[in-house]
Amino acid sequence: MISAYTGTQVRAAEEPLLAAGLGDALMQRAARGLANAVVHELKDSGTRLSGARVVVLAGKGNNGGDGLYAAAFLASRGMRTTAVLTGDAAHPAGLAAFERAGGRVHRLTEAALPGLAAEAAAADVVIDAVLGTGAKGGLRGSAADLIQAITDAHLHGFVVACDLPSGVDADTGEAAAPVLPADLTVTFGGAKSGLLADPGADYAGRVLVVPIGIEEHLPEPALRRLEGPDLARLLPQPARRAQKYSRGVLGVVAGSEDYPGAAVLACRGALAAGVGMVRYLGPPSVADLVRQSCPEVVCSTGTVAESRVQAWLVGSGMGPHDHEQLTRARDAIASDLPVVADAGALPALPAILAPHVVLTPHAGELASLFHRLGRGENRESVEAATLGAVRHAADRTGATVLLKGATTLVAAPWGATYSQADGTPWLATAGSGDVLAGVIGALLAQAGSDVGRFRQLGVEPDGRWAAIAALGAALHGQAGRAASEAVSGGPITAGRVADALPETWGKVSMLSNYGAWKRNSHSQPLR
Ligand SMILES: NC(=O)C1=CN([C@@H]2O[C@H](COP(=O)(O)OP(=O)(O)OC[C@H]3O[C@@H](n4cnc5c(N)ncnc54)[C@H](OP(=O)(O)O)[C@@H]3O)[C@@H](O)[C@H]2O)[C@@H](O)CC1
Ligand SMILES: [K+]
């Protein structure tokens, strides 16, 4: 599990150490970690360390101090280092160490800006140490102009962000342009939640967490990411004497005359994700197509009340005029069974729901949901602040909310938030969301009632729905990636994602020997 924290949480964790006079030691550890990461990157890119050109953009706070100390370490290893001081001051001890190590210092002025931007663009490494967790808003003035000029230039080398890319909000991942996109972000003490949520994640590149000794003071994380061993431990496995009903039956209310394929893909996703049985309810013509494509599915035109299932999937491929299907969707929500509510069901739901209802909107659908709740949002505003949006939606509706995207976020109402980024951009394809709904529905049917198992894993009963949804997002993402890798990284269809699920499931299960997985998520790159 990767745990991520807000900037405020990290700063609070630093407090006892700062009070004990260890501030400089913390900064030295941070800077050493940053410098080591730069050395690794240079070696990986085949660049000679001696004489390598490093430009550090240093703000006036401690983030700039980290950058200057790190550049001092690099200068002492024979690199040609330049510091561009972007503010009216610089961290005094960091600057002194940098100058002692032989680094060149430039103060940013309007006249010097083009030359300094060109020097940064030509460098082997640019270290962005302008703003860190103490930032208030985005870059301003000449620092903003410099970052814009470097962003616009064709960069020779790579960019390493110190703690976070300047201009990205450490807590929310909101980005105030201009932001210099990093290839690597080296972050201190714990990952910042803004690095694991879009758009912050777009700018962060790979994320490396450097321990600095504050870890034992960190509180419950603001954001979690499930990794291999977590997924393995959450995956339901059939008991030796299982039968199809005990394994879990999923009722599917999906598809319409206009979008019959969505029902097929939702059923395929569910079947490939280990459910004991799928019951389909819907229009006869759609049921015929489902039967032909998935003979394993039991189809009927009956009501929700007549169907014995452990969970429901409602909404994929349904429109506002599919009255019979929408009635079934509402009945499923009222049934008190776990439900994954997708696409067409979202506008038809009551305003107040419960955590066992998992909503799976994309950004546009979430904006529409906010409109109905009287909050003015559009797709762009949701995409600009995904973490805030998903948290607000969960807390306001009482439902578990999964916001689909390059980084998929899942929020439990008044509870945990998960961030999964297991997929590939090729997953942005028609029907992909139907398969995801099928996977989550299948997991709800299999694992929803297993409260004890989640407790053992430290997940409270009301929080298990979000953990199941995050597990579904991870499986779906990994299956998408596997499907694309099977065609040498080429494009995939939603059906291929469903086809890749069983093998993905098998590979994830192999990690169930938790002790064998020695990865320390505080010292390894996140991706
Ligand atoms: N605490 C520790 O011991 C450790 C901390 N660590 C490091 O410290 C970082 C946090 O440092 P920090 O608190 O000094 O804030 P930082 O992010 O450098 O910037 C704030 C400075 O910039 C200014 N400023 C603010 N907004 C601005 C804007 N939009 N545009 C322009 N200027 C702006 C603001 O000045 P002001 O405006 O308030 O006068 C202030 O001076 C953290 O990310 C990590 O890297 C690690 O070394 C581990 C040990
Ligand atoms: K920074």
Q: What is the ipTM score, two decimals?
A: 0.97
Model confidence at 436: pLDDT above 60:
yes
State mean pLDDT over 145-171.
97
Domain boundary among 181, 199, 225: 225
State whether 181 and 266 are in the same domain: no
Residues 420-429 have a mean pLDDT of: 97
Q: Which amino acid is at 166?
A: S
- Residue 521 clears pLDDT 50, i.e. is over it: no
Is 339 in the same domain as 453?
A: yes
Phi and psi, residue 175, nearest 5°: -120, 130
Cα–Cα distance for residue pair 352/439, rounded to 1 Å? 25
Residue 306 located in a structural domain: yes
- Chosen domain end from 195, 225, 255: 225
The answer, yes or no, to whether residue 177 has pLDDT greater than 70, is yes
Is position 77 within any domain?
Answer: yes
Question: Could you list the residue range(s) of the whole structural domain that residue 120 is in?
Answer: 2-225
At 52-102, the pLDDT tens digits run 999 999 999 999 999 999 999 999 999 999 999 999 999 999 999 999 999
Q: What is the mean pLDDT of residues 301-329?
A: 95
**Residue 192 annotated as part of some ligand binding site:** no
Residue finishing a domain among 225, 257, 276: 225
DSSP symbol at 168: B
| Per-residue pLDDT at 350 exceeds 90 | yes
The domain that contains 326 carries what CATH number? 3.40.1190.20
pLDDT band with cut points at 50, 70 and 90 for residue 513: low
How would residue 525 be classed by pLDDT, with cut points 50, 70 and 90?
Answer: low
Asked if residue 405 and residue 328 are part of one domain, the reply reads yes
Q: Which atom of ligand 1 is nearest to the CA of 164?
A: 43
User: Considering the domain boundaries, does residue 10 fall inside one?
Assistant: yes
The answer to the question of residue 173 being in a domain is: yes
* Between 402 and 522, the higher pLDDT residue: 402
Q: Is residue 514 part of a domain?
A: no
Q: Are residues 251 and 287 in the same domain?
A: yes
319 and 444, same domain (yes or no): yes
Taking residues 329-358, report their average pLDDT: 96
Pocket perturbation via mutation, ligand 1, pick of 108, 136, 166 by most ligand atoms within 8 A of CB: 136
Residue 526 pLDDT: 53
Please check whether residue 498 lies inside any domain of the structure.
no
- Residue 266 lies inside a defined structural domain of this protein: yes
**Mean pLDDT for the stretch of residues 431-452:** 95
Q: Would you state the pLDDT for residue 356?
A: 97
In this structure, is residue 512 part of a structural domain?
A: no
Of the pLDDT bands very low, low, confident and very high (cuts 50, 70, 90), residue 523 is very low
Mean pLDDT in residue range 222-232: 94
The b-or-e profile of 162-182 (16+ CB within 10 A means b, else e) is bbbbbbbbbbbbbbbebbbbb
Among 8, 130, 133, 160, name the best residue to mutate to test ligand 1's pocket (greatest count of ligand atoms within 8 A of Cβ). Answer: 133
DSSP per residue, 383-428: HHTHHHHHHHHHHHHSSEEEE-SSSEEEE-TTS-EEEE----GGG-
Mean pLDDT of all residues belonging to the chain: 95
Residue whose C-alpha is closest to residue 208's, from 526, 422, 519: 526
- What mean pLDDT do residues 18-33 have? 96
* Averaged pLDDT, 495-518: 82
Count structural domains, the chain. Answer: 2
Under the banding of pLDDT at 50, 70 and 90, the label for residue 522 is very low
Which residues have C-beta under 5 Å from ligand 2, the single-atom ion? 128, 162, 166
Same domain, 250 and 212: no
**342 has pLDDT over 80:** yes
Closest atom of ligand 1 to 26 CA is 49
**pLDDT (0 to 100) of residue 458:** 84
pLDDT-derived band at 453, boundaries 50, 70, 90:
confident
**Lookup: tokens for 350:** 């009551």
Beta-bridge partner residues of 509: none
pLDDT at 516 over 50: no
The whole-number pLDDT of residue 455 equals 87
* C-beta separation of 363 from 317 below 8 A: no
Burial class of residue 293, CB neighbours in 10 A (0-12, 13-18, 19+): middle
Same domain, 210 and 257: no
**Are both 302 and 430 inside the same structural domain?**
yes
Are 380 and 482 in a shared domain?
yes
| Same domain assignment for residues 221 and 252 | no
Q: Is the same domain home to 257 and 169?
A: no
| Minimum-distance ligand 1 atom for the alpha carbon of 212 | 48
As a whole number of angstroms, the distance between CA 146 and CA 113 comes to 6
Closest CA to 453 of 512, 504, 503: 512
Does 153 score more than 50 pLDDT? Answer: yes
Q: The CATH number of the domain where 132 resides is what?
A: 3.40.50.10260
Binding-site residues, ligand 1, Cβ < 6 A: 14, 18, 23, 26-27, 30, 59-64, 66, 131-140, 162-163, 188, 212
SS3 content of the chain, % helix, strand, coil (to 5): 45, 15, 40
* 89 annotated to a ligand binding site: no
- pLDDT at residue number 449: 86
Asked if residue 282 and residue 171 are part of one domain, the reply reads: no
Q: Which pair of tokens denotes residue 337?
A: 């069974």
Interval 118-124 mean pLDDT: 98
Q: Is 255 annotated as a binding residue?
A: no
CA 106 to each of CA 80, 87, 401: distance values in angstroms, whole numbers, following the listed order: 14, 11, 48
